């Protein structure tokens, strides 16, 4: 089964809106796991507008599933993840002021940089995934960096799904096939939800992991966190 990693950034955003510790991020981590999440994802940014660097250290000891940290591999981020030692780091090309991830890496322009970062992280036992769009040659270039996996940036799929889901999914199927041919594992994330997740899984059955935050936390307002996690897990069966 494809693993569901719950991104808890939006829980931290809600906490930060009022200060204090409501909602309790550590409690959220424990409950997400007890309700069936296969992993926890965070994406700390330099301005700490949602997940703080201190949060990463606070929750790392209570994660009993898999821990995935996303981010741009600047010096402070690299220092953080080498200290926290998550199971996986997902490298994204976000500038510091990005509202959310909105594009994958241009690998050819960054291959030397990424290769050095990936070697550094793998040397301490961290699996590395690289956030990419569906360009086939770009994905083949990922293999040159030594990365373990790619994470497909799925916003274009989510946008196209209501109009023509077959057309929307085809570039992602082709990209996932290219990655598999190169020996790369395939993750996916961004704007996946209860409407479009099952169809993506149906067409790319070898997906290893999806990372979902915004839609899942929004759905939890209506259904409750436990039921919501079960609904997303059902989409991945």
Q: Which of 50, 151, 190, 209 is the catalytic position?
A: 190
Looking at the predicted structure, is the pLDDT value of residue 97 above 70? no
Model pLDDT, residue 232? 98
β-strand partners of 90: 70, 129
Percent of the chain with pLDDT over 90: 94
Model pLDDT, residue 94? 81
- Whether the CB-CB separation of 203 and 2 falls below 8 Å is answered with no
The answer to whether 50 is a known catalytic residue is no
pLDDT tens profile 206-237: 999 999 999 999 999 999 999 999 999 999 99
Element (H, E) at 138: helix 136-145
Q: Which of 43, 50, 151, 209 is the catalytic position?
A: 43
Q: Which of 66, 70, 151, 209 is the catalytic position?
A: 70
β-strand partners of 7: 41
0.75 exceeded by the pTM? yes
pLDDT band per the 50, 70, 90 thresholds, residue 98: low
pLDDT tens profile 104-155: 999 999 999 999 999 999 999 999 999 999 999 999 999 999 999 999 999 9
The answer to whether 190 is a known catalytic residue is yes
Q: Rounded to whole angstroms, how far apart are CA atoms 172 and 192?
A: 13
Element (H, E) at 91: strand 88-91
Rounded to 5 degrees, φ, ψ at 23 are: -75, 155
pLDDT tens profile 21-79: 999 999 999 999 999 999 999 999 988 999 999 999 999 999 999 999 999 999 999 99
Q: Rounded to whole angstroms, how far apart are CA atoms 16 and 48?
A: 10
Query: Could you tell me the domains of the chain?
Result: 3-235 (3.20.20.70)
The answer to whether 43 is a known catalytic residue is yes
């Amino acid at each position: 089964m494809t693993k569901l990693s719950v991104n808890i950034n939006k829980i931290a955003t809600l906490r930060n809106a009022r200060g204090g510790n409501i909602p309790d991020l550590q409690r959220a981590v424990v409950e997400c796991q007890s309700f069936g999440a296969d992993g926890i994802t965070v994406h700390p940014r330099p301005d700490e507008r949602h997940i703080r660097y201190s949060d990463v250290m606070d929750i790392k000891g209570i994660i009993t599933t898999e821990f995935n940290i996303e981010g741009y591999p600047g010096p402070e981020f690299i220092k953080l993840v080498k200290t926290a030692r998550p199971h996986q780091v997902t490298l994204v090309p976000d500038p510091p002021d990005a509202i959310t991830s909105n594009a994958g890496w241009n690998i050819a322009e960054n291959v030397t940089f990424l290769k050095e970062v990936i070697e550094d992280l793998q040397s301490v036992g961290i699996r590395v995934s690289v956030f990419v769009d569906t360009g086939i040659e770009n994905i083949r270039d990922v293999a040159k960096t030594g990365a373990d996996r790619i994470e497909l940036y799925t916003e274009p799929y989510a946008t196209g799904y209501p109009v023509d889901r077959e057309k929307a999914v085809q570039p992602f199927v082709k990209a996932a096939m290219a990655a598999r041919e190169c020996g790369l594992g395939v993750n996916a994330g961004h704007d996946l939800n209860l409407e479009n997740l099952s169809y993506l899984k149906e067409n790319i059955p070898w997906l290893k992991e999806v990372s979902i935050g915004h839609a899942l936390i929004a759905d939890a307002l209506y259904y409750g966190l436990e039921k919501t996690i079960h609904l997303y897990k059902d989409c991945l069966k």
